[in-house]
Amino acid sequence: MVVRGSAKGVVYSTGHNTQIGAISKTLARAHPETEFQRGTKKYGNLLLTLTVFLVLAIFGLNIAVGHPLFDALLFGLAIAIGIVPEMMPAIVTITLSTGAHRMAKEKVIVKRLESMENLGNIDTLCTDKTGTLTEGKIFLVGSYTPDSTPDDSRVIGLSLAANNAVVGDTITGNPIDVAIWEYATQKALGDLTKDYTKINEIPFDYRRRIMSVIMRTREGLTLIAKGAPESLIQDCTYVEWKGQGQPLTPALTGSLNTTFTNYSMQGLRVIAVAYRNIEQKNTYTPADETGLTLAGFLVFTDPPKKDVGEALSKLEKLGVGIKILTGDNELVANKMCNEVGLSVKGTVTGTELAQLSWAQLKSSVENATVFARVTPNQKLDVIKALKENGHVVGYMGDGVNDAPALYEADAGISVDTAVDVSKDAADVVLLRKDLGVLANGIEEGRRTFGNTIKYVLMGTSSNFGNMFSASAGSVFLPFLPMLPIQILFLNLLYNVANLTLPTDNVDPEYTKWPRKWDIGFVRNFTIFFGPFSSVYDFLTFGIMLFIFGASPALFQSAWFVESFWTQTLIIFVIRTRRIPFFKSRPSKWLVVLTLACVAFGTIVPFTPLGALMGFTAIPASFWILNILMTVTYLFLVDAGKVFFYKICGY
């Protein structure tokens, strides 16, 4: 840490050979496939199978009944286009963009649109304790000798010497080092480091959990170390006990561990400070951190956020499980979880994780809430194990070492105050590090997913029903029930009507738990509701043939209108599990555009454009029958919806 002045340095590694370079290599790959992308792929495969089978069958049957080869081919291709919801990419993009705009108002910035569906679908959130459950501001509450006697000069002086905070108009750097300086300044302890001159440093790392400095004093060179008590005490041979240096016996070690445990059980974070005289050397390594004398403890607090309990309760109601991945010890983490109302099912330490096989790890992540003293690589392993277990995982982090885990998670969540590499790796950036903000973002993500699924259900059920009717009619009628150009126009107008689906309201109960792509549900929905449309299509066929004795043009015109009315207006029934309009209101834009498209489709047969496509004017008596059929169709589907969701267990 360069505080002032100038120096010469030696570069001994660059690029990918540096620590940041190693992290960058983990990010230099395609983003892992999201749950939404996997679901979309399965849906595409389902449509492909259905389309190929139906088109081949239609083409073969039309040839068999004597339709011209070219007409049969065009009709088959039109049926294929009619079945496939080709506007889905546009609908999904508009839905995601609209959702991202709404989420920005909730102080949630979405960087990758496809990750927004995952944010809504996460069922497990992995996060650090500091800054999420707590205020993220560490305060030093006291310093003590090993026998628990308050001491501000000796222990604080050593810890200020082994300190990398930059002291100036503002104190910046490592939060723990900053807290020590702020405490010394507040207590007006004076210049406790005037007798120390820094010679060298052994940096902190997550394996040792210790950092050391080599200082020149009047007596010679001194190594001063500070770090996690469970690590540093193991490196101590002596202890300053009641003002005297004594060998560190097992009895004294037990007493020190009890003191440390008592602090931790109060939710306080403890740092140990130790020292030893050392000889002049060219280089110093962690191997020099032995034979130390324990000087005392620093006790810190990071108070819980005032509203974190409410945010955790909201996440729990949303069906999101919380996993705490922290560098603190398990006692501090458990105490903090209890204070904020987070139930702890189990605790696993980093040491225990290192001894588990992959199969054991996958089991362990299901049964534990707190993962304490974990390294960045172990955080990554926990996320991978949860994903392999079928969870949609969100990870919240803001440090350099969090980047790989952010990249691996289904939804990587960072904050605007995070380091650049973490924000680059994240999918979502919060403008405030607050679980309440995140909960609002999750709800918005679920509303976005809900509107996407509405289009899928519309496209597969009503499209399938109408195209099945067209296919069956082409076999039994002496003419095509609808010309290819008419099918394409119907499909175009129908998709335009769906463009405002992203603005639709979503029922509150839909956001209460995570939703995933369920291809079985989509398939069963299609099979159940598709025939409803076909029944009314065949009824229209009969009316036009046996009551009106319709010509091919009149038949096609009448069925176009009936098909378009039922296919488009059914959105008001399918969009909700509630009673349409009375218990669940659609958005005004969905109502306006849908009714406008229905009106346009109604008058097309009477226009030159309709004549160009082979339509003709429809007699007034048909409109009465069409209104009756459409109304009864909507009521029938609404009744069938109750049966499907309740009786079939959806």
Give the residue numbers marked as catalytic. Answer: 128
Q: Which of 617, 503, 517 is nearest to 557 (CA)?
A: 617
| Residue 259 CB coordination number (10 Å) | 17
Q: In a 10 Å sphere around its CB, with 0-12 CB exposed, 13-18 middle and 19+ buried, how is residue 528 labelled?
A: middle
Q: Is 372 helix (H, G, I), strand (E, B) or coil?
A: strand
User: Which residue type occupies 610?
Assistant: G
| CA distances (Å), origin 218, targets 153, 372, 456 | 18, 41, 78
The DSSP element (H or E) to which 142 belongs, if any, is strand 139-144
379 close to 405: Cβ distance less than 8 angstroms: yes
238 close to 228: Cβ distance less than 8 angstroms: no
The DSSP element (H or E) to which 140 belongs, if any, is strand 139-144
The DSSP element (H or E) to which 521 belongs, if any, is helix 519-542
Structure letter (DSSP) for residue 172? B
d(CA 180, CA 184): 6
Token pair for residue 131?
Answer: 């800054």
Phi and psi at 435, nearest 5°, equal -65, -25
Residues 6+ apart with CB under 8 A from 512: 317, 318, 319
Q: Is 15 helix (H, G, I), strand (E, B) or coil?
A: helix
User: Which residue type occupies 376?
Assistant: P
Residues 6+ apart with CB under 8 A from 203: 211
Q: Which of 603, 576, 579, 604 is nearest to 590 (CA)?
A: 576
Residue indicated by tokens 């561990």: 257
| Residue 49 CB coordination number (10 Å) | 10
Structure letter (DSSP) for residue 110? E
Report the half-sphere exposure of 335 (CA within 13 A, side-chain side): 17
Q: Which residues of 376-400 are buried (b: 16+ CB within 10 A; e: fewer)?
A: bbbbbbbbbbbbeeebbbbbbbbeb
d(CA 435, CA 308): 7
d(CA 610, CA 599): 14
Q: Which residues pair with 134 in a beta bridge?
A: 304
